[in-house]
Structure 1
Amino acid sequence: MNSPVTHVPQVPHVPYTGGEKESLHISLDRHRDVVLWKLEGLNDEQLRRPMTPTGTNLLGLVKHLATVEYGWFCSPFGRETEKFWFDTATEDMTVGPDETTADILAFYARARAAADASIRKTDLETTGTAWNGRIVSMRWVLIHMLEDVLRHAGHMDILRELIDGATGSYPAAP
């Protein structure tokens, strides 16, 4: 059986002697790309299929990650975010029937772009106020988001394996 993955992504490498901000950002990007690879080759039903008793599915995890990209990288530092069409407290991991896969992927792309702009323009020591009232630095947010993306990419590893048996961080080279 041929793999539905049509390309092998260029895997970014964290520089061995890079600066702290550059290294954290590249590491975050590596795992953001893993999140997207976990979706490749799957149809809409597979992306939305509830795989746990709580209803966790691949597309819902992407929606959640988009939400937290805005919530941690943009809002605390006064950067613009888009208006959400859902309740972030209860619906950020749920994909409604009127939300298309393309809509969620575009939302994630916009969130990543906004987050990347905030990362580029904000020094590591700069602080902002998070949604929970805590004062956070960009350094802390980068570390926290790296942890969050890694955690959910791990969830996606398991869900993808249960759906079609695909494993690994990136597709094997042909």
Structure 2
Amino acid sequence: METDGMYTAGEKEILHTSLDRHRDAVLWKLRGLDDEQLRRPVTPSGTNLLGLVKHLASVEYGWFVASFGGEVEPLWFDPYSDEDMSAGPGESTGRIVDFYGRARAAADAVIAERPLDALGRPDWRDHEVSLRWVLVHMIEETARHAGHMDILRELIDGATGDHPRTPDPDTAPE
């Protein structure tokens, strides 16, 4: 994602662009892998790429949408348990990736519609949070899990980085 124009943008645009950059890295970590690789637990805790995407979708809905009075789509799992960190046998890759896309779009609508100082109240907290705080929190959350995904992806097939590498035109073979 090109961000050169963001160096002088307003605070909300900078925060949203930062979140999008990490969201895009999350999706890039899935590219080129088959279903078995996406579900493969490569840590003792069972962490896998697809489970992390499901978790990120769940928290986007919770922090951005539910906290600010929006409607969250019915979930087929319990987001307050480890069910949001794994992909079950009946959950297709497409279903989870599409779920992340819908959560991201719903969160983007909340971000677009509200000022940074808008207040929301998560159901699971006893205090209000500002949209600014949620944006920073979700940048942290998404970046943290994108880092986990980077390690998982490297263990699966050796791919690393936060975005596809394009060859340097000055050094690429002709």
The structure with the largest alpha-carbon Rg is 2
Same fold, judged at TM 0.5 (above): yes
Q: Percent identity?
A: 65
**Are residue 146 (structure 1) and residue 139 (structure 2) matched?**
yes
Q: Aligned to 2:27, which of 32, 36, 42?
A: 36
Q: TM-score, normalised by structure 2?
A: 0.92
- Count of aligned residue pairs for this structure pair: 164
Determine the C-alpha separation between the residues in 2 that align with 1:151 and 1:37. 15
After superposition, the C-alpha distances for 1:50-91 in whole angstroms (9 at most, x for unaligned) are: 011111000000000000000000111101110101011220
Secondary structure class of the residue paired with 1:26? helix
Determine the C-alpha separation between the residues in 2 that align with 1:66 and 1:73. 11
**Are residue 117 (structure 1) and residue 120 (structure 2) matched?**
no
Considering fraction of residues, name the structure with more helix: 2
Structure 1 unaligned spans of 5+: 1-10
Moved more, 122-131 or 104-113: 122-131
After superposition, the C-alpha distances for 1:75-126 in whole angstroms (9 at most, x for unaligned) are: 1110111010101122001111000000000000000000000000011001
Secondary structure class of the residue paired with 1:41? coil
Determine the C-alpha separation between the residues in 2 that align with 1:148 and 1:12. 22
Determine the C-alpha separation between the residues in 1 that align with 2:146 and 2:2. 16
Residue 171 of structure 2 aligns with which residue?
Answer: none
Matched ranges for 1:1-174 at <5 A: 11-13=1-3, 15-90=6-81, 91-130=83-122, 131-174=124-167
